[in-house]
Structures are given as C-alpha cells and as structure tokens.
Amino acid sequence: MIILTVVVTATYTAVLIPFKGLVLVPGFTEVRLANVLPVVFSVLFGPAAAWGSAFGNLIGDVFGGTLTRGSVFGFVGNFFFGFAGYKLWGNLGRLSCDEEPAMDSAGQLLEFLAISFVSAAGTAAIIAWGLEVLQLLPFSVLGTIIFVNDFLVAAIGGPILLRFLYPRVKRDGLLYPDLMREGDLPSVSERRQQVAGIGIAAVSIAWIVVGIGISLGLQGVPFGVGPADVTASDVTRTRIQLFVGSVAALLLLVASLLSGERLSAILRRDD
C-alpha cells in the first residue's frame, strides 16, 4: 500500500505538471486532465489513492509554481477526491449497483458518475471555503470552476480508464483488499455504512450549493465573475461562510470517521 501511494503520487504529479500553463485562475487552478485519476484510483487502490492524490497535488503546486497558503486546503480537498470513491461505492442506496467497478454495465456507470459528482462537490467546497477563509478568493469564483473541472474530467474519462485498468489490476492482485490485512479494513454494519455514505454525499453536495448561494446571494459576488474582477469587499465578508463551512466540515469529518466501505466485500465476492 505504501508503494501504491508513491505510485499514485508520482502518476498524479506527472499528469498535473504539464498542464500548469493552461491557467483557469492564476496562481490557484488550471485545466486539470489529471482529475481523471483520483476517483478511478480510489476504487482500485483505496486509501493509497487518497494519500497519493493529496501529496501529488501538493508536489504539483511546488513544481508548478502555484504553492500558496491555499495549498493546505488543496491537500485536504484532493485527499477527499481520492477518498470518497472507495468509501461510497456500494453505499449510495438505490444509486449503488452492488457490482464490481468493471464499467461493463449501466448500473456501474451510473454509480461511478454519482460518486464523481460527490467527489467533485466535496473537493470544490473544501478548497473554495479554505481560500475564502484566507481572504484570497470568494467561494463562488473558485468553487464553481473546481467543481465543473473536476466532475467533467472524471465523468468523461474515468469510466474509459477504469474499463481499461480494472481487469488488469484485478488480475495482478493489486486491488486494495488484496493487499490490506482484514483487520486494517473498517468493520461496521451495512446500515451504518449506508447512513455514513449517504451523509458524505449529502453534506458534500449541500456545502457546494449553499456556499455558492451565499457568495452570490448574500455577498453579492456576480455570477461568472473572474478573479481579476474581484474586489476587496468580496473576499472579506467571510463570517457566514466561515460558520457554514465549519459546520459542513465537521459533519463531513464525522460521517467519514463513522463510515465503513462495502467495496472490499464486493471485490472479494466477485473474485
């Protein structure tokens, strides 16, 4: 698992850096074709994908010239990007197909798209909230761009990449349940897994929607405004965002700590 973490880190960094010149928000984000990787790696490599995505993004910031105070929240946000997939697969109620993520059925595709949506929402909310708290950019400016960027790349390229990688990784015995000891995997009831999984999804989606709504409606940040058009007042009225984000972050942390993961049982059942 440590080796897989290093591999994910290196792969994510290697795909991030070449596109650092395709800037969307100067100093903060760019076109990120590497966003196809975290959710795919998450359902393949579990915890290694979460840590690998977090460290890969940080190293990408260092070598890509975008290292700022906000990189702390980039680390946390990208950890979530690689964390949500293996926690949510099989735990989204009717959206879950109870099948391995081989991308050979409509149910698997729908579940992957739902997880990509939640992963993108949570990642965008964490990073956008952090940068507003640091008074660097309003929530809506970065939150909208990150969410759309993360979701579209993952949703379009992810199923194709996973369809190619999954049978090969499974054949080589590199799926995370094959490498982790039984005692290292959380053992919780299916009901608790479902409640925690739906909780992670609900908080992530609600946070990005409410955060953007506060930014546009209460703070008066114009929709579609670019970072160059942001005024000082747009990034200083953060009290309500601080409160809402603090509550959302706490709920997301609690749901994550209480969560189990059904994916390992599905993968072992389908061996």
Name the least confident of 26-40, 54-68, 122-136, 165-179. Answer: 26-40
Domain boundaries, the chain: 2-269
- Which residues neighbour 254 within 8 Å (Cβ) at sequence distance 6 or greater? none
Record the pTM. Answer: 0.90
Q: Tell me what pLDDT residue 60 has.
A: 87
Is residue 25's pLDDT more than 60? no
Q: Tell me what pLDDT residue 68 has.
A: 84
Q: Tell me what pLDDT residue 75 has.
A: 96
In degrees and rounded to multiples of 5, residue 13 shows phi and psi of: -65, -45
Is residue 11's pLDDT more than 90? yes
Tell me if 17 sits within 8 A of 4, measured CB to CB.
no
Q: Tell me what pLDDT residue 107 has.
A: 95
Q: What is the mean pLDDT of the chain?
A: 87
Q: Tell me what pLDDT residue 23 has.
A: 52
Q: Tell me what pLDDT residue 186 has.
A: 76
**Letter string b/e over residues 231-250, b meaning 16 or more CB atoms within 10 A of that residue's CB:** eeebbebbeebeebbeebbe
Which tens digits make up the pLDDT trace of 84-97? 999 999 999 999 99
Tell me if 119 sits within 8 A of 81, measured CB to CB.
yes
Q: Tell me what pLDDT residue 38 has.
A: 95
Q: Tell me what pLDDT residue 241 has.
A: 87
* Residue 234 pLDDT grade (very low, low, confident, very high; cuts 50, 70, 90): low
Is residue 26's pLDDT more than 60? no
- Which residues neighbour 173 within 8 Å (Cβ) at sequence distance 6 or greater? 179
* Residue 122 pLDDT grade (very low, low, confident, very high; cuts 50, 70, 90): very high
* Residue 190 pLDDT grade (very low, low, confident, very high; cuts 50, 70, 90): confident
Q: Tell me what pLDDT residue 97 has.
A: 92
Side-chain half-sphere CA neighbours of 122 within 13 A:
35
Is residue 236's pLDDT more than 80? no
